[in-house]
């Protein structure tokens, strides 16, 4: 078993302390589960990472939807447009971004500084979609980067590995205007990134060195934007008159999270890798049927974690979670009710298909698949 859990006689036995988690409330997303989809085509030739996005491959690559508020469509639309393109070859995942910006501003110059203290662009990549061991990259208009590895989301105990670097990372920024000059009005900044697959595969041991056509990753992009004041001839964050502190930043994303927290990997978009080149048409995105099962497991995870946080412990039945009559948890071809195993400090929920294949989730949010262990379930 991948995680080392054994479900026997209604008990869980953990083979690793890695299943530990932090007891906190887990706000459920307040938007529909409808992650955006993107088919990523191959490059037609070499890519020069200069921030300009002027290679022929970029000219033919699709754009994502324009970013919206991180909480979803119930919130006001962002003040400025942001959108992204993606391409790939045998070596790298390429990301190009356009950020409309009338006030180009950045201050941080040291690598691995907390870049979201400036206006920034952020990338999040979970190659195997298990919501653990994913990558984050942030950069500002000075092309200063902060790259880190998340062992698991902060809600599940983290930690973030700040000393980890993306070896072979290439980034560039092109400014359509002048940086840190309030005397004029700027247009935008564009970002170009090459993420080496040799590094991205580190969190998914056993997988090929690069994606194969049809493979799907979970990805999201975020933009942090502050309101700026130009009094005194220099940009500064607008402050609250009562507290004197900067106003909260805006958070705009490709895939809405339904909560002001980008670290909900289950809400990120789907990127499907294609063998086609730009201009050759594109493959149709095909949503994997197991994604519905994984989302049902995630509903159980939210309910279990919040029940435990409130002091009632983990439950061993859907009824005790208040989910016994939830139609979204009844999935054709999969066991119902799903198996639930609970101890005072652990839980595991399992859906099993007629083929014997099963999908699992545990208290720290990790989701995984197990192949049939024996004869198919009848």
The tens digit of pLDDT for each residue in 32-88 reads 999 999 999 999 999 999 999 999 999 999 999 999 999 999 999 999 999 999 999
Instruction: Band the pLDDT of 8: cuts 50, 70, 90.
Output: very low
Mean pLDDT across the stretch 27-31? 96
Is 4's pLDDT higher than 60? no
Per-residue model confidence as pLDDT tens digits over 258-311: 999 999 999 999 999 999 998 888 899 999 999 999 999 999 999 999 999 999
For tokens 């033919």, the residue is 60
Of 12-16, 231-235, 304-308, the one with minimum mean pLDDT is 12-16
- Where residue 157 falls (left for φ over 0; alpha for ψ -120 to 50; beta otherwise) is left
Structurally, how many domains does the chain consist of?
Answer: 2
Q: Are residues 77 and 190 both part of a single domain? A: yes
Residue 7 reports pLDDT greater than 70: no
Query: Which percentage of the chain shows pLDDT scores above 90?
Result: 86
202: containing domain:
37-273
DSSP of 25-38? --PPPSS-S---EE
pLDDT band at 2; cut points 50, 70, 90: very low
Global pTM?
Answer: 0.93
**One domain, residues 301 and 252:** no
Of the pLDDT bands very low, low, confident and very high (cuts 50, 70, 90), residue 208 is confident
| Residue 166 phi, psi dihedral angles, 5° rounding | -85, 100
Regarding whether 338 and 251 lie in a shared domain, the answer is no
Q: Are residues 78 and 207 in the same domain?
A: yes
Are residues 104 and 15 part of one domain?
Answer: no
pLDDT of residue 21: 78
Nearest CA to 183 among 68, 252, 105, 243?
Answer: 105
Whether residues 187 and 334 fall in one domain: no
- Rounded to 5°, angle at Cα 257 from 241 and 172: 80
Give the strand pairing for 170-176 and 339-342. Answer: unpaired
Residue 133 Rama label (left phi>0; alpha psi -120 to 50; beta): left
The three-state (H, E, C) secondary structure of 188-209, written as one string: EEEEEEEEEHHHHHHHCCCCCC
Same structural domain for residues 366 and 218? no
Is 258 part of a structural domain of the chain? yes
pLDDT tens digit sequence for 85-104: 999 999 999 999 999 999 99
15 & 46 share domain:
no
Residues contacting residue 208 through CB under 8 Å, at least 6 positions apart: 201
Rounded to whole angstroms, the Cα distance separating 65 from 83 reads 6
pLDDT, average across residues 242-269: 97
Q: What's the confidence (pLDDT) of residue 19? A: 61
- Whether residue 9 is predicted with pLDDT greater than 80 in this model: the reply is no
pLDDT at 127 over 70: yes
Nearest one of 53, 37, 151, 59 to 96, comparing CA atoms: 53
Q: Does the pLDDT of residue 10 top 60, yes or no? A: no
Residue with token string 């009710």: 337
Percentage of residues in the chain having pLDDT higher than 70: 93
Residue-level pLDDT at 278? 82
Please say if the pLDDT value at position 218 is more than 90.
yes
Residues 234 and 121 in one domain: yes
10 assigned to some structural domain: yes
**In whole angstroms, how far apart are CA 272 and each of 216, 312, 336?**
4, 41, 30
Residue 30 lies in a domain: no
Of 250, 273, 296, the residue that ends a domain is 273
Q: What is the DSSP letter of 67?
A: P
pLDDT reported for residue 203: 80
Distance, CA of 145 to CA of 138 (rounded, Å): 6
Same domain (yes/no): 188, 253: yes
With the CA atoms of 181, 184, 188 and 192 taken in that order, what torsion angle do they form, in degrees rounded to the nearest 10?
Answer: -40
For residue 32, tell me if it sits in a domain: no
Q: Based on the domain organization, do 357 and 222 belong to the same domain?
A: no
Q: What is the pLDDT of residue 237?
A: 97
In a domain, 280, yes or no: no
Q: Residue 105 belongs to a domain with what CATH number?
A: 2.60.40.1190
> Among residues 229, 246, 273, which one ends one of the domains?
273
Bridge partner residues of 45 (DSSP) = none
Q: Pseudo-torsion of CA 327, 330, 331, 337, nearest 10°?
A: 170
Is 80 exceeded by the pLDDT of residue 209? yes
d(CA 61, CA 40): 8
79 and 107 belong to one structural domain: yes
The residue-averaged pLDDT of 98-114 equals 98
Q: Is residue 339 part of a domain?
A: yes
Average per-residue pLDDT in the chain? Answer: 92
52 against 8, higher pLDDT: 52
Residue 112 has pLDDT above 80, yes or no: yes
242-270 average pLDDT score: 97
d(CA 135, CA 124): 6
Domain membership of residue 283 (yes or no) is no
In a domain, 92, yes or no: yes
Residue 86 pairs with which residues in a beta bridge? 95
Alpha helices in the chain (DSSP H): 56-60, 197-200, 290-309, 318-321
Of 240, 273, 306, the residue that ends a domain is 273
Instruction: Give me the pLDDT at residue 64, please.
Output: 98
């Amino acid at each position: 078993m991948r995680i080392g859990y054994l479900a026997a006689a209604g008990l869980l036995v953990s083979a690793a302390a890695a299943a530990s988690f932090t007891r906190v409330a887990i706000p459920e997303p307040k938007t529909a589960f409808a992650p955006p989809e993107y088919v990523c085509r191959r490059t037609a030739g070499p890519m020069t990472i200069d921030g300009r996005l002027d290679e022929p491959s970029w000219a033919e690559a699709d754009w994502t939807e324009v970013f919206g508020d991180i909480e979803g469509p119930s919130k006001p639309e962002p003040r400025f447009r942001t959108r992204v393109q993606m391409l790939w070859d045998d070596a790298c995942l390429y990301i190009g971004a356009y950020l409309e910006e009338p006030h180009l501003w950045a201050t941080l110059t040291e690598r691995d500084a907390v870049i979201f203290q400036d206006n920034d662009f952020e990338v999040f990549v979970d190659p195997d979609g298990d919501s653990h061991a994913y990558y984050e990259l942030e950069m500002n208009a000075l092309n200063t980067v902060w790259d880190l590895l998340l062992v698991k989301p902060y809600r599940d105990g983290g930690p973030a590995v700040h000393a980890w670097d993306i070896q072979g990372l290439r980034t560039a920024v092109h400014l359509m205007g002048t940086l840190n000059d309030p005397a004029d009005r700027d247009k935008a900044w564009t970002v170009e990134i090459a993420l080496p697959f040799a590094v991205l595969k580190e969190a998914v041991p056993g997988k090929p060195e690069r994606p194969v056509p049809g493979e799907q990753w979970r990805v999201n992009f975020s933009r942090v934007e502050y309101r700026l004041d130009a009094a005194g001839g220099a940009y500064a964050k607008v402050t609250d008159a009562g507290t004197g502190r900067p106003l909260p930043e805006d958070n705009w994303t490709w895939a809405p999270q339904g909560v002001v927290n980008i670290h909900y990997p289950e809400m990120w978009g789907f990127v499907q890798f294609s063998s086609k080149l730009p201009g050759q048409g594109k493959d149709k995105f095909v949503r994997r049927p197991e994604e519905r099962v994984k989302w049902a497991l995630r509903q159980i995870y939210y309910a279990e974690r919040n029940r435990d946080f409130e002091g009632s412990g983990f439950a061993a039945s859907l009824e005790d979670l208040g989910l016994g009559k939830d139609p979204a948890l009844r999935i054709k071809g999969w066991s119902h009710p799903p198996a639930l195993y609970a101890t005072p400090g652990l839980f595991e929920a399992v859906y099993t298909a007629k083929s014997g294949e099963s999908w699992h989730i545990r208290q720290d949010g990790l989701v995984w698949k197990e192949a049939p262990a024996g004869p198919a379930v009848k």
